[in-house]
């Protein structure tokens, strides 16, 4: 089973960008408690990737706004 995590950037209610930030694989048949949900390592990786993408988009939008000033 695969979970795909995306970050969608919207500006003034319109989608400006959608980017996949992580894929988490989990077994379809659960055999142990550790196979349920996300591990702490998964959490840190996903949050780090989301943070990086948010910062990148903020800088990209700011650069575009600066070009039009």
Q: Distance between CA atoms of 35 and 44, rounded to whole angstroms?
A: 17
Torsion angle of C-alpha atoms 23, 24, 28, 32, degrees rounded to 10: 170
Q: Which domain holds residue 63?
A: 2-67
Whether 67 shows a pLDDT value over 90: the answer reads no
Closest CA to 49 of 15, 10, 11, 20: 20
Residues 6+ positions from 23 with CB-CB distance below 8 Å? 2, 3, 4, 5
**pTM for this one?**
0.74
Q: How many domains does the chain have?
A: 1
- DSSP letter assigned to residue 33: G
pLDDT digits (tens, 9 = 90+) for 4-49: 999 999 988 999 889 999 999 888 888 888 888 888 999 999 999 9
């Amino acid at each position: 089973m695969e979970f795909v995590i995306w970050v969608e950037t919207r500006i003034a209610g319109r989608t400006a960008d959608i980017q996949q930030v992580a894929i988490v694989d989990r077994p379809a048949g659960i055999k142990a408690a550790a196979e349920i949900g996300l591990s702490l390592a998964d959490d840190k990786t996903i949050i780090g990737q989301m943070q990086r993408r948010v910062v990148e988009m903020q800088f990209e939008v700011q650069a575009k706004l600066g070009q039009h000033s």
